[in-house]
Structures are given as structure tokens and as C-alpha cells.
A and B are shown apart, each in its own frame.
Chain A
């Protein structure tokens, strides 16, 4: 279920609606999204058809039969060849299998037009246009020039426009401006360049899924794993004065948890809290902060490499160090546990929820993510309560590729609460303080709503123990 700022379920416009924005007279974004979904489906169907025809004529069975019945073989080859190369039909749609991929790569290098690619490009274009309704900064002339250049495949012009946009707005405002359509722009770049190895990024983004390559060079995600190695370790740490003061006034309240995460900082600390409930049962709350942006890599798992790794894979140095933390802290098997994570912490919480070993060792009951791109991740235990808190101005939660017309839909059991607040620029819009401030205000009912879901963790806080997480 998705709730917007008014606390109501967001629904798309029904078929037959007038489809015009009354205020501006522009085409209704709902119609653009509908057309984008249709085009994406058609693109995927055309691509699949190309793959099926390629497989039909590249298998050994076809070869054997063609030798036995040469007339049939010639006729079939011509008919299939016509189907996968007709510029008025599928275009150059050969793909799939070893032979198909080699031919497709040659076609990409020589810029042969394929109907699936053209349809996909138009689907992404409509997504971008639909997003401009909700994010008017995308209509700024330079931003518009940039998106138009990317859509047209004019990379040099796109680079110039990006440079001028940065000069005009600065890096953070540029990032914020482009963030609603960043996945679409990356997918278009991947689809329209001469590199055939990164195209899968675009197709996965179009279909809704977890990309298996990065968008620029097409490097497989296994390569990323090489940069984020380590068994993961957790060392007991002492709370400094500021952290101790914040923890002293903490409670079973989502805003307090986010405050605690802010106080933990993002230099490698995580917090394990023991709570004794009214029924005498001891339960555990784990607070996981997000990424440290100081360096690409540091000695802990909360770094940029770890963030990309966590986004694409489930077993990372962060998840391993958390498992080590729980063993070290003596959390008994079967103990009830809730994880609250901000940004990379939220990704890690979902990665742990998708780990069979973890959920069969501990009874993970709740995962609350704050500004985390988790929509392509799934908990292996269907009873885990997942709550995702998203500020729509925040760049980071959109990095999972769930755009306005994305095929990704979150499970019905999840509670996704999103809003638009006054913190426009990244990284301010992503900071835990901004999330806490918004939730603390009276305008949104979300604080109460989340707190009602986590009442089983009410009780006396027995211990608050910070741990320093390390890669090795």
C-alpha cells in the first residue's frame, strides 16, 4: 500500500478519465504513464519475439532439418530473416543465445535500429515527461536540454548541458533536479551507446528488477564484490557524550529511533538495544546508520562501495558484520528483533530479511527503512512487517529504479509512507534529521501509525550498546 502526504492510497486515473491537467492544459501525467507502460510491454514483447526467432534458426535441430529439407530450410530462413530485420517491423531484432548476442552486439556497434530499442526509448521518454508534472524543476531549460539530448542519444551535448547545469545550480541542486528521472537517464545512456554489454541495465530497468550490471561500462555486479571483501566484524564501542545523551532520552518511537541513528553518525557505528517487555520477554532493536560519503572505501562497511554492493547483492560486509555483532552480543537464537535502518542501513536491513540463515536464526519481526531504495528486495519470511519511509525529494530511495511508470510494485503487506517536505536539496533531503523533523511535525499522521505497529517493543530499555562495524 502506498500512502501520499494526505495519508490516502494513491491511485492511477481510471480509463476514460478526461486526461488533461485542468490547471496547465498539459497532457495528463496519468495518460503519459499509461502509454509508457504499454510501450514498455510492447518493447519487451518485441525483444522476446526476436529472441524466439533467433533461437528457432540458430539451433542444431534447425540445421539438421534444413539439410534434409533444403527448400523448407531456405524458406524458413528467409521468412525468419525478414521478420527480424524488416525496418518497418521489428527492425534489427536478433538477440538471445550465443549467436544472437554476437549478432546483436555487431548491430549495436553499427547502430542498426531495432524496434524494441525504439519503443523502450519512447517508453523512458514518456516516463521522464510524466515526472516533470510532479517535479517542475525538470522543465528548467538546461535540465530540459540535458534530458532531450540523452533521449536523442547526443552524448556530447548531454555532457555540455550537464556541465552548464552544474555551473548554474551547483552539484547538489543538479543531482536533486535530476534525481526523479536518474534511472531513466542512465538506462537511456546504456541503451543508446555503442556498448552492447550495458544494455541489460536498461532492459532490467524497463521491466522492473535488480540490475545485474552497472549502467556505464556494463561491468557485472560480481566485479563490485571484489571491491567489498571481508568477513565483517563488530567491536564493542563506548558511546560518546552526545550519543549517550540522545540515547538516554530514547524510547520505542520511530522519531526517537531516527534521532538515535543521527547521533550514531555514519563512521561505522551501529546500536543494539535490549528491551524488556511487560511480559518479561527480552526483545532486541538494531539501529543501522547509512553511508559515509567521505571516501569511496573505508575500513568499515558504511562506505560508497558498500552502498552499491548492498543495492545489488544481499551478502555484503555490512550484513556479515551485523551477524557477527549479534553473535558477539549473545543475542539468543529465536529472539525477537526489529531493525531500523537509514539509507544503506535500510538496504542492509532488507538484505538481512532476505537471508534465510538470518531469519531462521532470529525472529525478525519488523524492518523499518528510512530513505532506502529497497523496492526490489523481498523478505524471505512473509510475516516480517516492512515499513518504508520516503521523502519524495530524496534522491536515494529512487535508486532502485522504481520510477513513475516502473513495473516494480511492492508487496501488499508492505507499508510505504511517502511525503514531500521542505528539504529540497540533496543531501539535506536524505538526512535522518530531515526525516525526523518531518515526522515530528503535526502535519503527518505517520509517526503514530508506525508507532502503533511496533508496540511489541514497548518496555524498559535494559541496555544500549554501540558497536563499531569493520570490513575485516
Chain B
């Protein structure tokens, strides 16, 4: 058999019709416009939402290709798209076996490509990390609660800083607690514009990780139960660390806020764990890797179909899962949303474990309140970007079991109750009430400062005293006015 025989024997993937390509391009473009569903939702025209229309397009593609992978020529590139999750895993798995799988990128809803770290098997059992995961999650949850603002709102930047620290502590040990540059380089590696930049970023990341791996030097040395201390010192250690750091960070920065948002509206099904339900639901509904693109670097065959070198396999995880769930199946493990590998990934399972433990630790002390966007239990949005969430955590019980005030509870105010009531005017009312209290406090502090004997020594000092008293009076008067406005807003 020669090359020409192979060429003629092997089937080519079905190519989508031009109209189908246009529809897929439109569906991909629609992902970038967050408000596009608003008119259809406002008019109650659910079949015209992005989610329903995408399902229709996928159903049409399945009819055209008889369920087999289809070649799509879209405005965003040419892709070979498997039309169900099983085919996608099988096709990518075959590419892996044939040594044909090249770079893997994640495709965000905004169309940006993220360069993912290569899947590397985790050579340790999750059970061996359980204790450390729980301890770190409990400790850092208290830090997060303590960092809340006056209205119990979580700051996104603070959230990301703490979650990156959790990942570093878990993987590299407590010595890496303050090494924020690792997370910054990791993020920059994901965002690398091209292969050259990606290579440079990976090299920089490895240089930064090197002291933790080989030469503890000034670092306090690996924590005995950190992942780095239990990994075998072989060639795969760098890869494992990068993959785990990336996956755990992704789960904590994206999935946990989404899980808290879902927990704030969703009822707990009888006999299920609230945390597992929230985290599992967040991962299934809003997979952090909603779409991945797998580059093929050598030709291979899959079920009699030839795939050429240079082809890009598009695994639209979220779309396929949505269609399959609509048809009553879709039984992928939650961890499949965090790693692009076709096989189960232990690093992703570890990330799910850490996400669950952090969510559990937070819910132990506080109740999540989603201030924005407004979501309803029975009509959850098609996408829920973590960075768009305005989340508050109100204390379940401001006093801990030992009678001390819970972290962050000291800054909780009665307005937080009104804040929890929802968005819009109620929230403005709570903020105004909080401002009135703040102005009252400023009035008190200014008046107290004016009473100091230090102003008695000269005319300027006395003038300052009168100025401070005048401002204290204005603050007190303003507090009364603002308090009245807050009451009107709250009505």
C-alpha cells in the first residue's frame, strides 16, 4: 500500500454548508456580546436567546454530518468540530496516542486564546493531600472574610490575590506564600500572544520555580505536606507543578465565586451536599474551559476519517454539554471542565477538591448574597463570568463558638441586612445608611480632635479648633440628611 492508496481509502470530514458556517460564526460572535439575550429575555422570547439558537445550530450540524465531526470554516478560523463529547474525547485521545496533538489553547467567550499548560498526570493520590487542602482552605477563608468591605462585599482583586496564594501554598509550600510574581507570570503565560512569547514566559516561570524545586536557598524550604515535597524528583515535576498551579488557580478564581452565586439562589436538593451541588453545578453550567482548541501537528486517522496536520480540533465543551443535557445525558465528571485532556485528570480533581473545601469553609461562617447581576433560580443565565459577580458574604453568626467576633464581622453593619435584600434602591439605601454612620463617626472624631488642649497655644490653634468644630457640625448635619434619604430609599 502506498501513500496514494491511503489518501483514497481514508474518508475526509464532512464540510459544513456555507449557511451553517455563517450560523456558527454568528453563534461564536454572539458569545462576545454579553447583553445580546436581554431583548429576547425581556420580551419572554426564550427560543430567541443565544443558548436556544446555538442548540438549533448544533442540531442542524448533527443532521448534516450524521453526528460525526464536521469541518467548519468560520470567521474565526477553520476547525474540525466533534458534535458530541464522547467523539471529542475519542478524537483528541487518538491524536494523543498518535503523537499528533500539539499546543492546546482555551478559547474564551470574548474570543481570546489562552495557552494552557500541558496535561501532566499527578503521581500522588488526592487522599494524601486532603488534610493540607482542608487546613489551607479554612485558614484562607478566614482571611477572605476579614478582607470584606464595610458592606460585606468581596473585592475581586483581593479574592484573586488570596486564591493565588492558596494555590502557591498548596503546591510549593508556605515559603511561596508571598511570592506573588509566580501567579503574575502564570497569568501572563496564559495570555501569551504567540509561541515565542509563550516559550519566554514558560522559561521565566521555570526560573522562578527553580529555587523551590532544587535549591531552597533563602526560602524556608518546602513544607513537609506540600505537593512539591511529595512529588518524585523526575523529569515531569516541572510539568506537574505548572499544571496543578494553573488548574487550581483557575478553579478558585472562577468556579468558587460562581458556586457561591449559585448557592445564593439555588435550593439544596434533599440528600445532597450543598457545597458539592454548588461547585458541581458551577463547573457543569459554566466550565472555565468552555471551549478548547487542539492543534494537530501530524496526520492521523480516527474511525476511518483522516485528520490532516495543521487542523485545529474545536472542543466546544459548554455547547456540547448543553445540548447533551437538554437530551437527558451529559454525565461528565466536574473535573473535565478544568483540564483539556481527554482522559480524567487528577490535577483537575485536586482543583475541584480545593474549590469545594474553600466554598465549604466560607459557607461555614457566611451566607453568600449576589448583588449583581440579578439571577433567578429557574432562569439561570447562559454565562456568568466570575469577574462580573458582585458578591457579598454576610455572617451566619457574627460570634464564633469561642465567643470571639468572627473575622470581618467587626465591620458588618445593620445595613448589610438591607444590602442582602437585593440590588437597586435597597442597595443604595444600605450604602447611604452606611455613609450616614460614617459621617457621624467623622463628626465625632473631628469634635474630639477639636477638644484637644494642644490648640490652646496661639490664635491659629484656636482658629483650627473652630474650623474642626464647624466641619464636625456639618458632618453631623449631613449624616441626618443622608440618613433621611436612606430611609426614603429603603421604603
**Using a CB–CB distance below 8 Å, which chain A residues touch chain B?**
17-20, 25-28, 31-32, 34-35, 38-39, 41-42, 45-46, 48-49, 52-53, 55-56, 59, 61-62, 65, 72, 75-76, 79-80, 82-83, 86, 88-91, 115, 118-119, 122, 126, 129, 333-334, 356-357, 359-361, 363, 380-383
Q: Quick one: which of A26, A83, A86 contacts B457, CB cutoff 8 A?
A: A26
Contacts of A52 in B (CB 8 A): 428, 431-432, 435
Cβ of B489 and Cβ of A76 under 8 Å apart?
Answer: yes
Cβ of A90 and Cβ of B432 under 8 Å apart?
Answer: no
Cβ of A35 and Cβ of B464 under 8 Å apart?
Answer: yes
B22 at interface, CB cutoff 8 A: no
Contacts of B457 in A (CB 8 A): 20, 25-27
Q: Quick one: which of A27, A35, A75, A115 contacts B474, CB cutoff 8 A?
A: A115
The verdict on A38 contacting B474 (CB below 8 Å), with A53-B485, A61-B424, A76-B485 known, is: no
Cβ of A356 and Cβ of B184 under 8 Å apart?
Answer: yes
Contacts of A17 in B (CB 8 A): 454
Q: A62-B424, A119-B471 provided; 19 other pairs, C-beta below 8 A?
A: A35-B449, A38-B442, A38-B449, A41-B442, A45-B442, A52-B432, A59-B424, A61-B423, A61-B424, A76-B491, A83-B481, A86-B478, A88-B473, A89-B474, A89-B480, A118-B471, A359-B181, A360-B207, A380-B180
Docked pose: A52 CA to B181 CA in angstroms: 36
Instruction: Report, nearest first, the 9 A-B pairs whose CB atoms are least far apart.
Output: A19-B454, A56-B428, A360-B204, A89-B478, A83-B481, A49-B435, A42-B442, A76-B488, A27-B461
B445 at interface, CB cutoff 8 A: yes
Q: Interface residue count for B (Cβ, 8 Å)?
A: 55
Cβ of A80 and Cβ of B477 under 8 Å apart?
Answer: no
**Using a CB–CB distance below 8 Å, which chain B residues touch chain A?**
178-181, 184-185, 188, 200-201, 203-205, 207-208, 423-425, 428-429, 431-432, 435-436, 438-439, 442, 445-446, 449, 452-455, 457-458, 460-461, 464, 467-468, 471, 473-475, 477-478, 480-482, 484-485, 487-489, 491
CB pairs A–B below 8 angstroms (10 shown): A18-B453, A19-B452, A38-B446, A42-B446, A45-B439, A46-B475, A52-B435, A115-B474, A115-B478, A333-B207
Cβ of B438 and Cβ of A45 under 8 Å apart?
Answer: yes
Contacts of B467 in A (CB 8 A): 122
Contacts of B452 in A (CB 8 A): 19, 31
Cβ of A48 and Cβ of B449 under 8 Å apart?
Answer: no
Cβ of B481 and Cβ of A82 under 8 Å apart?
Answer: yes
Cβ of B446 and Cβ of A49 under 8 Å apart?
Answer: no
Cβ of B454 and Cβ of A20 under 8 Å apart?
Answer: yes
Docked pose: A59 CA to B429 CA in angstroms: 13
Nearest B residue to A19, CB-CB:
B454
Docked pose: A57 CA to B260 CA in angstroms: 30
Contacts of A46 in B (CB 8 A): 439, 442, 475, 478
Docked pose: A290 CA to B435 CA in angstroms: 45
Cβ of B458 and Cβ of A27 under 8 Å apart?
Answer: yes
Contacts of B480 in A (CB 8 A): 89
Nearest A residue to B490, CB-CB:
A76
Docked pose: A359 CA to B424 CA in angstroms: 44
Docked pose: A59 CA to B425 CA in angstroms: 9
Shortest B233–chain A CB gap in Å is: 21
Cβ of B464 and Cβ of A56 under 8 Å apart?
Answer: no
Docked pose: A332 CA to B249 CA in angstroms: 30
Q: Quick one: which of A20, A45, A118, A382 contacts B435, CB cutoff 8 A?
A: A45
Cβ of B482 and Cβ of A83 under 8 Å apart?
Answer: yes
Nearest A residue to B423, CB-CB:
A61
Nearest A residue to B431, CB-CB:
A52
Shortest B193–chain A CB gap in Å is: 12
Cβ of B477 and Cβ of A88 under 8 Å apart?
Answer: yes
Nearest A residue to B487, CB-CB:
A79
Contacts of B477 in A (CB 8 A): 86, 88-89
Cβ of A27 and Cβ of B489 under 8 Å apart?
Answer: no
Docked pose: A80 CA to B477 CA in angstroms: 14
Cβ of B489 and Cβ of A56 under 8 Å apart?
Answer: yes
Cβ of A82 and Cβ of B460 under 8 Å apart?
Answer: no
Docked pose: A72 CA to B429 CA in angstroms: 13
Cβ of A360 and Cβ of B181 under 8 Å apart?
Answer: yes
Nearest B residue to A88, CB-CB:
B477
Shortest A87–chain B CB gap in Å is: 9
Docked pose: A423 CA to B268 CA in angstroms: 73
The verdict on A79 contacting B485 (CB below 8 Å), with A49-B435, A89-B474 known, is: yes
Contacts of B455 in A (CB 8 A): 19, 27, 31
Docked pose: A46 CA to B185 CA in angstroms: 40
The verdict on A34 contacting B449 (CB below 8 Å), with A89-B478, A360-B201 known, is: yes
**Residue of A62, A88, A126 ringed by the most chain B CB atoms within 10 A:** A88
Q: Quick one: which of B185, B435, B442, B464 contacts A32, CB cutoff 8 A?
A: B464
Contacts of B179 in A (CB 8 A): 382-383
Contacts of B478 in A (CB 8 A): 46, 49, 83, 86, 89-90, 115
Cβ of B454 and Cβ of A18 under 8 Å apart?
Answer: yes
Docked pose: A196 CA to B185 CA in angstroms: 40
Cβ of B432 and Cβ of A53 under 8 Å apart?
Answer: yes
Docked pose: A382 CA to B436 CA in angstroms: 38
Contacts of A55 in B (CB 8 A): 428
Docked pose: A298 CA to B368 CA in angstroms: 57
Cβ of A79 and Cβ of B453 under 8 Å apart?
Answer: no
Docked pose: A46 CA to B478 CA in angstroms: 8
Shortest A157–chain B CB gap in Å is: 20
Shortest B456–chain A CB gap in Å is: 8
The verdict on A382 contacting B432 (CB below 8 Å), with A32-B464, A129-B460 known, is: no
Docked pose: A230 CA to B178 CA in angstroms: 36
Contacts of B473 in A (CB 8 A): 88
Contacts of A381 in B (CB 8 A): 181
Docked pose: A122 CA to B468 CA in angstroms: 9
Contacts of A334 in B (CB 8 A): 207
Shortest A63–chain B CB gap in Å is: 11
Shortest A405–chain B CB gap in Å is: 13
Docked pose: A25 CA to B179 CA in angstroms: 50
Docked pose: A61 CA to B203 CA in angstroms: 51
The verdict on A27 contacting B485 (CB below 8 Å), with A52-B435, A122-B471 known, is: no
Contacts of B445 in A (CB 8 A): 38, 42
Q: Quick one: which of B188, B429, B488 contacts A75, CB cutoff 8 A?
A: B488
Cβ of A72 and Cβ of B446 under 8 Å apart?
Answer: no
**Residue of B188, B205, B432 ringed by the most chain A CB atoms within 10 A:** B432
Contacts of A79 in B (CB 8 A): 481, 484-485, 487-488
Docked pose: A49 CA to B440 CA in angstroms: 12
Docked pose: A31 CA to B478 CA in angstroms: 25
Contacts of B185 in A (CB 8 A): 356, 360
Docked pose: A211 CA to B236 CA in angstroms: 47
Shortest A366–chain B CB gap in Å is: 14
Q: Quick one: which of B208, B424, B475, B489 contacts A360, CB cutoff 8 A?
A: B208
Contacts of A356 in B (CB 8 A): 181, 184-185, 188
Q: Quick one: which of B204, B485, B488 contacts A72, CB cutoff 8 A?
A: B488
Docked pose: A48 CA to B432 CA in angstroms: 10
Docked pose: A80 CA to B184 CA in angstroms: 44
Docked pose: A56 CA to B434 CA in angstroms: 14
Docked pose: A386 CA to B359 CA in angstroms: 38
**Residue of A53, A62, A65, A118 ringed by the most chain B CB atoms within 10 A:** A53
Nearest B residue to A76, CB-CB:
B488
Nearest A residue to B210, CB-CB:
A334
Docked pose: A52 CA to B488 CA in angstroms: 14
Contacts of B481 in A (CB 8 A): 79, 82-83, 86, 89-90
Cβ of B485 and Cβ of A80 under 8 Å apart?
Answer: yes
**Residue of B429, B436, B481 ringed by the most chain A CB atoms within 10 A:** B481
Contacts of A360 in B (CB 8 A): 181, 184-185, 188, 201, 204-205, 207-208
Contacts of B184 in A (CB 8 A): 356, 360, 380
Docked pose: A333 CA to B188 CA in angstroms: 17
Contacts of A53 in B (CB 8 A): 428, 432, 482, 485
Cβ of B203 and Cβ of A83 under 8 Å apart?
Answer: no
Nearest A residue to B473, CB-CB:
A88
Cβ of B200 and Cβ of A361 under 8 Å apart?
Answer: yes
Shortest B423–chain A CB gap in Å is: 8
